[in-house]
């Protein structure tokens, strides 16, 4: 009887461990990126200053992802574009950006709800201090 009780207890513990481990691995749907089209309002850090930013992502007819952004730079509205955006498997989006100041890369991570993202940008590579975030409007 003790052996059976031990086997049952061990089995239950193993199943609990399996389900907890599965819960820790958040799964994005395979086609998650198809749901991000829209405008997100947030902030970015540029030249050491926090600025409001409006970020828009959209799908092209060919299935790619592009976008636009507008931010306030010392009282002036500046605009830029995103091209060649590539989604990762777990809510990551990697884009190239271009504006009057230059070109570079943006890497963001979407929340599982797909209504907000946090990330960073840089010129040749992402600078973790140069944050960029947004919440869908």
Per-residue confidence (pLDDT) for residue 30, from 0 to 100: 86
Mean pLDDT of the chain: 85
19, pLDDT greater than 50: no
pLDDT digits (tens, 9 = 90+) for 37-49: 999 999 999 989 9
Check residues 32 and 2 and name the one with the higher pLDDT. 32
Predicted confidence at residue 27, as pLDDT, reads: 86
Residue 43 CA to residue 41 CA, distance in Å, equals 7
Question: Long-range contacts made by residues 26-31, C-beta under 8 angstroms, separation at least 24?
Answer: 26/90, 26/112, 28/89, 28/90, 28/91, 28/110, 28/112
96-125 confidence digits (pLDDT tens): 999 999 999 999 999 999 999 999 999 999
Written as one string, the DSSP assignment of 59-114 is E-TTS-EEEEEEEEETTEEEEEEEEEEEE-TTSEEEEEEEETTEEEEEEEEE-TTS
Give the model's pLDDT for residue 20: 35
pLDDT (0 to 100) of residue 47: 87
**What's the average model confidence in pLDDT over 69-75?**
92
- pLDDT for 44-66, tens place per residue? 999 899 999 999 999 999 889 99
The CB density around residue 39, as the number of other CB atoms within 10 Å, is: 16
pLDDT for the residue 32? 94
Pick the CATH number of 32-136 from 2.40.128, 3.40.50, 3.30.70, 2.40.50: 2.40.128
């Amino acid at each position: 009887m003790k052996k059976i009780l031990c086997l049952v207890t061990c089995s239950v513990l193993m199943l609990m461990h399996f389900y907890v481990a599965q819960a820790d691995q958040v799964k994005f749907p395979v086609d998650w990126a198809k749901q991000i089209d829209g405008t997100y309002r947030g902030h970015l850090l540029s030249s050491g200053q926090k600025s409001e930013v409006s970020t828009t992502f959209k799908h092209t007819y060919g299935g790619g992802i592009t976008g636009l952004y507008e931010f306030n730079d010392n009282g002036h509205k500046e605009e830029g574009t995103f091209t060649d955006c590539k989604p990762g498997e777990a809510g990551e989006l990697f884009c190239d950006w271009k504006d009057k100041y230059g070109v570079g890369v943006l890497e963001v991570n979407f929340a599982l709800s797909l209504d907000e993202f946090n990330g960073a940008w840089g010129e040749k590579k992402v600078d973790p201090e140069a944050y960029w975030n947004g919440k869908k409007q």
